[in-house]
Structure 1
Amino acid sequence: ERGHSHTYCCYYHAPTLVIVSNEPTQWWAAMDCACAMQNIFLAAKSLGIGSCWINQLGQTYDDPEVRAFLTKLGIPENHRVYGCAALGYAAAAPVKERQLAEGTVTIIK
């Protein structure tokens, strides 16, 4: 339903979306993709780029319309989408002071 809305954007209008996919024939395919995503996020952070893990394509990649679009983008037909990384420069926002719940223990070394 949201996918047909002209105002909905599952990747928050980020200028870049990296789609991470793999052949699901091996049991470690999802783990390989998760490691790749983490490396993308770490590299983005080191460059001052904001990132967000997006799951929608991981849930809808086998829908015929979504599959056709992924194929048009060059994602192989035999691949499953395990996640996407939305990348962009975050808007400058004041950092809120974090309020800890009573009884919270924080150890700083």
Structure 2
Amino acid sequence: MNNEIINALLTRRSVRSYKPQQVTDDELRTVLETGTYAPTSMGRQDPWIVAVQNAGLRQELTEMNAKVMGVDSDPYYGAPTIVLVFATKGARNAVQDASLALGNMMNAAHAIGLGSCWINRELEMFDTPLGRSIMQRLGLPEGLTCVGALSLGYIDKQPAAPKPRKANYYRVVK
């Protein structure tokens, strides 16, 4: 099918190598805005989206994530921007709502020529005194959990070609 949206969905890949230059404000705003248009349970718009470009805070997040992961490397793959998505802890659809926002932003990034990768371990990172302190510094309300993050930036090394889709990935029942 020759459709720009379908093509973007079929060709997006996780990027794990970024150029050091920061994305433009317009590009960032575009990606973040698409996250705000993701479907949410009953239209509540529960997720809180925070883009981190501050080098000091980015380093702090990198160290926290690496510690949870048990590595010394950068779990954000050197991306100059980290996008964190929080939602109300314990809310019935917090993970689903935040995940849809992350998905929208990954697809939007690809559509405008940026790379992204979903990064895990934020649940553990922000469920610590340091994590809660960072949330306070970010001006976030109490009672949130961080569902996930995106590394975001200009692609330095193209990701590998997609793996073939598994047999019987989907079924149609009529």
TM-score normalised by the chain length of structure 2? 0.49
- 2:133 matches 1:68: yes
Deviation at 1:35, TM superposition (A): 0.5
Moved more, 71-80 or 25-34: 71-80
- Corresponding position of 2:75: 10
- Cα gap change, 1:45/1:56 in structure 2, threshold over 3 Å: closer, same or farther? same
What is the total number of aligned residue pairs between the two structures? 100
Identical pairs, percent:
31
Q: Which has the larger radius of gyration?
A: 1
How do 1:1-109 residues align onto structure 2 when only pairs under 5 Å count?
2-3=66-67, 8-93=73-158
User: 1:99 Cα deviation (Å)?
Assistant: 8.8
Alpha-carbon offset, residue 78 of structure 1: 1.1
* Matched residue SS, 1:66: helix
CA contact (8 A) 1:21 1:75 kept: no
- Change over 3 Å in CA distance of 1:68–1:98 after alignment to 2: closer
Alpha-carbon displacement from aligned partner over 1:46-105 (angstroms, at most 9, x marks no partner): 011000001121222111112212321233221100000110111144x767897xxx97
When the two chains are superposed, the root-mean-square deviation of aligned CA atoms in Å is 2.9
Q: Which has the higher contact order (CA 8 A, sep 6+)?
A: 1
TM-score, normalized by length of structure 1?
A: 0.74
Name structure 1 gaps, 5 residues minimum.
none
Task: Determine helix, strand or coil for the equivalent of 2:89.
Answer: coil
| CA offset digits 1:22-63 (Å, max 9, x no partner) | 112421111000100000001000011000001121222111
Structure with the higher fraction of residues in helix conformation: 2
